[in-house]
């Protein structure tokens, strides 16, 4: 089956959660964002007649299927490519974790765009400052404390079961993104939630993830994406 | 299997999406919010030792399983109780639709709480006014236009396939919530997106949904929930 990933070029964004799964599973895929005119192709395919039209990128074409919503794409890939437990209960648990990661990621995005995603950050700076204070002091500790507890509870080094799942790959990316966006905050929080750093390092050492990072194909974080470094929002 | 639904008392909230599925499928369940001391029981069970701890309510206990995240609970119920297509591709499509509904619901909540969910609306009124204008003028038309297109494209009266799925029940609830919160806006948008009203009415006429509404157990919308009516935010 041929896989084609459609996402915006130039940012890791939500597409990166899908890329990490494809890379770790060693799946051959075309990344439209890395091709000429990628954004135009992505937008054209978004509007093309599909029986299961996506609301927004990322979406994955897998043979005749068009699959939208990040967590839904990962549910599909996880089951097919050994990135989720074999049991139905295990798949539900990984999906639950992934949806909680999606909630965290949405809140991180809201922090620099509390008024409207369609406005520039510069047009909502006072609101962003208030919101991000709440993110740093209340929401990030709550989410990171939760994942720290889950890791400590599983005792295997992975969030769910004895093997890595796509939720571990996503949490790895979240940790990288938060370190980029909120370096000072994360230095403090990682001292309190001590399972996060080791999970990050275990994922980074996976041969295919290490090769992906070394390849130069992994897009750097920047101020157009989900995880943005605005020094005035970190402390 | 015994089902127990855990959610906050006093608001429909995200618990209502699960209730509608349980009710339409005719599943026997205990609704902790309707029992004495429901909130305390829900919070206690949230902190109790589970192998799959939920981050937040709603969560469902189904025999030995504890299942969190609204869309994940619905994925589980849909497959088991005939509220999703039988094919794997069909299940993914309904999950995709449900996750898009979840995104819409989150944006509706953000509109009256753009600074922090933990602050009162009264402490973020100017920010809410700006955000809600964007919701009314850009985001709601985008989401409702999308679901209108999906309904028109399916041609069966339901979002996915020939039979009702849990996504139809959720969209019904969203339409009710939006009519409550943004009556003036919805009067305008429903003229433009003409599939929504008939979908709403088809769901409301389902015998078990009609019985549920008539029972008095369905909690009314109010200003503690997701869909809130603040006249200054509607126009």
Beta-strand pair B59-62/B3-6: antiparallel
| Per-residue pLDDT reduced to its tens digit, B27-45 | 999 999 999 999 999 999 9
DSSP B51: S
**Structure-block tokens of residue B183:** 């009556």
Identify the three-state secondary structure at position B62.
strand
Q: Is the pLDDT of residue B48 over 90?
A: no
Residue A214 C-alpha, separation from nearest chain B C-alpha, in angstroms = 33
Q: A122-131 burial, b if ≥16 CB within 10 A, otherwise e?
A: eebeebbbbb
Chain B residues touching chain A at CB-CB below 8 Å:
51-55, 65, 67-69, 71-72, 75-76, 89, 92-93, 95-96, 99-100, 103, 106, 110, 114-116, 118-119, 127, 130-131, 134, 138, 143, 146, 149-150, 153
Residue B58: cis peptide before it, omega within 30 degrees of 0: yes
Asked casually if ipTM beats, i.e. exceeds, 0.90, the reply is yes
In chain B, the residue whose alpha carbon lies closest to the alpha carbon of A134 is B116
Neighbours of A121 (CB within 10 A): 15
CB proximity list for A138: less than 8 A, separation 6 or greater: B116, B118
Give A-chain residues touching B143 at CB under 8 angstroms: 55
Closest CB to A116 among B53, B134, B149:
B134
A53-107 residue pLDDT tens: 999 999 999 999 999 999 999 999 999 999 999 999 999 999 999 999 999 999 9
pLDDT in tens, A7-22: 999 999 999 999 999 9
Q: Which residues of B touch A118 (CB under 8 A)?
A: 134, 138
Which pLDDT score is estimated for A1?
A: 78
3-state helix/strand/coil string of B136-177? HHHHHHHHHHHHHHHHHHHCCCCCCCCCCCHHHHHHHHHHHH
CA atoms within 13 A on the CB side of B35: 13
- Across the interface, whether the CB atoms of B138 and A118 are under 8 A apart is answered yes
When scoring B47, B57, B92 by the number of chain A Cβ atoms within 10 A, the one with the most, hence best to mutate, is B92
DSSP string, A11-57: --TTHHHHHHHHHHTT--EEEGGGSTTHHHHHHHHHHS--SS--SSS
Q: How many residues does chain A have?
A: 235
**pLDDT at site B47:** 84
């Amino acid at each position: 089956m041929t896989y084609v990933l459609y996402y915006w070029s130039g940012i890791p964004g939500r597409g990166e959660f899908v890329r990490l799964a494809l890379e770790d599973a060693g799946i051959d895929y075309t990344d439209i964002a890395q091709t000429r005119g990628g954004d135009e192709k992505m937008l054209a395919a978004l509007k093309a007649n599909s029986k299961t039209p996506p609301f927004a990128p990322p979406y994955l074409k897998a043979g005749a299927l068009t699959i939208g919503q990040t967590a839904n794409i990962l549910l599909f890939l996880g089951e097919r490519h050994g990135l989720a437990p074999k049991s139905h209960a295990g798949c539900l648990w990984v999906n639950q974790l992934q949806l909680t990661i999606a909630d965290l990621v949405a809140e991180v995005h809201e922090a620099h765009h509390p008024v409207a995603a369609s406005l520039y950050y510069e047009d909502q700076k006072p609101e962003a400052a208030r919101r991000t204070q709440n993110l740093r002091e209340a929401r990030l500790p709550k989410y990171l404390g939760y994942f720290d507890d889950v890791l400590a509870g599983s005792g295997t080094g992975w969030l769910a079961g004895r093997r890595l799942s796509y939720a571990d790959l996503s949490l790895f990316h979240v940790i990288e993104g938060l370190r980029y966006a909120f370096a000072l905050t994360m230095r403090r929080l990682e001292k309190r939630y001590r399972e996060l750093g080791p999970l990050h390092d275990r994922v980074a050492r996976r041969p295919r993830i290490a090769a992906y990072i070394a390849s130069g194909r992994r897009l750097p974080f920047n101020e157009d994406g989900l995880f943005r470094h605005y020094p005035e929002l970190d402390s």
